[in-house]
Amino acid sequence: MAPAQYTRYVLNERPGRGPVNPRTFRKEVVPFDLKPGKGEILVQVLYLSLDPANRTWLNDARNYMEPVKIGETMRAGALGRVIQVGEGTKFAPGDLVNGTMGWTEYIIVPSKGYQKIVIPTGAELIDFLGPLGMNGLTAYFGLFNVGQIKAGETLVVSAAAGATGSIVCQLGKMVGAKVIAIAGADDKCQWLENELGVDKAINYKSPTFHADFKKAVGYFDVYFDNVGGDILNFALTRMKKHARIAFCGSISDYNATPKGLTNYMNIISQSAKLEGFIVFDYASQYSSALKDLTKWVSEGKLKRKFHLVQGLENASEALGLLFNGGNTGKLVVQVAPVDNAKL
């Protein structure tokens, strides 16, 4: 039976330069009047992906995607179950789907552009928000296409215990690189060394961080940077000739006013390359990358951790975990029980 109403969270007020706060989002409980039209599907949201980029979508500024509008349901990558289909879609009720949805219990989306999930051997549904989803693809294209990593090279990875970084570290080891991971807590460093097999993990909050970096890395070939800011500025002094920086993210500045890079002239003296990218740039190559990622997950070669938060009402507060290091692995909000996702 259809519910009489459902809950969604809309953007109430832009947070300016600071972090998301209790006024940023507004809860709305609205009548359930959702009926998919031609080419559309009605989806019950099961799992929401929380991503640092969610914060950047709240700024009224030029970005790779339109900003979320005031009064609009907060956008998010998500996994859901198709409840009802409009005419002419490739989906059937009960199908699991992956794609852009929002902070809502139910949503109508155009079926085009949404992928039907078939869970491979050795994987589970939530992996489609991890190694088999956007973070896996970001790690893959950032390291192989942008970073051009090769066996025997030295790879440095920041936010290494997070969703993207933890996959980059493992891909780096798989191709035979020496991998130095950077994270903000000793228990994260232990997980990276003992479970994910990096050569060394160093804590950027330690007063000896710069000395630790010099000792562990020497000079690097590839830096997969998720963080930007001070760590990137320091890393610019530790590049080998022809080093590559795959500039994936700059989370240290998403809630702040960037200070700028004072060491950038090393890019010239070391004939180095700093290249930004957005995973969507590689959309035409997703299917071949997913073949590799699926194979590695099925073979047990890619370990992953999920930090699961229960309840849509906790999404706003949980977003803060990405910025204070509260998550290890992929941060996900569970909106509905997976086995019970039906009207």
d(CA 114, CA 94): 14
- Taking CB under 6 A as the rule, does residue 51 contact ligand NAP? yes
> E strands of the chain, at which residues?
5-11, 25-31, 40-49, 75-85, 96-102, 106-110, 115-116, 154-157, 178-183, 200-203, 220-225, 239-247, 273-276, 306-310, 330-334
- Taking CB under 6 A as the rule, does residue 147 contact ligand NAP? no
- Taking CB under 6 A as the rule, does residue 163 contact ligand NAP? yes
CB atoms within 10 A of CB 230: 14
Sort strands 115-116 and 96-102 into parallel, antiparallel or unpaired: antiparallel
User: Which of 36/136 has CB closer to ligand NAP?
Assistant: 136
Name the segment binding ligand NAP (CB under 6 A); options: 79-87, 101-109, 245-253, 308-316. 245-253
Q: Round the CA-based radius of gyration of the chain to a whole number and report it.
A: 21
Contacts of 20 (CB under 8 A, 6+ apart): 55, 58, 316, 319, 320
Candidate residues 34, 108, 278, 338; the one interacting with ligand NAP per rule CB under 6 A: 278
- Taking CB under 6 A as the rule, does residue 79 contact ligand NAP? no
Sign of the alpha-carbon torsion through 128, 133, 134, 135? positive
Candidate residues 44, 89, 294, 327; the one interacting with ligand NAP per rule CB under 6 A: 327
Which residue is associated with the tokens 């006013």?
Answer: 257
Contacts of 143 (CB under 8 A, 6+ apart): 149, 155, 168, 171, 172, 222, 224, 246
- Taking CB under 6 A as the rule, does residue 130 contact ligand NAP? no
- Taking CB under 6 A as the rule, does residue 252 contact ligand NAP? yes
By CB under 6 A, what part of segment 189-228 binds ligand NAP?
204, 226-227
User: Which of 134/272 has CB closer to ligand NAP?
Assistant: 134
Smallest distance from ligand NAP to CB 94, Å: 29
- Taking CB under 6 A as the rule, does residue 53 contact ligand NAP? yes
- Taking CB under 6 A as the rule, does residue 170 contact ligand NAP? no
Give the C-alpha distances (Å, rounded to integers) separating 72 from 41, 66, 101, 190, 330.
19, 12, 12, 41, 25
- Taking CB under 6 A as the rule, does residue 183 contact ligand NAP? yes
User: Which of 52/99 has CB closer to ligand NAP?
Assistant: 52
User: Which of 131/162 has CB closer to ligand NAP?
Assistant: 162
- Taking CB under 6 A as the rule, does residue 85 contact ligand NAP? no
Site residues for ligand NAP per CB under 6 A: 51-53, 134-135, 138, 159, 161-165, 183-185, 188, 204, 226-227, 248-252, 277-279, 322-323, 325, 327, 331
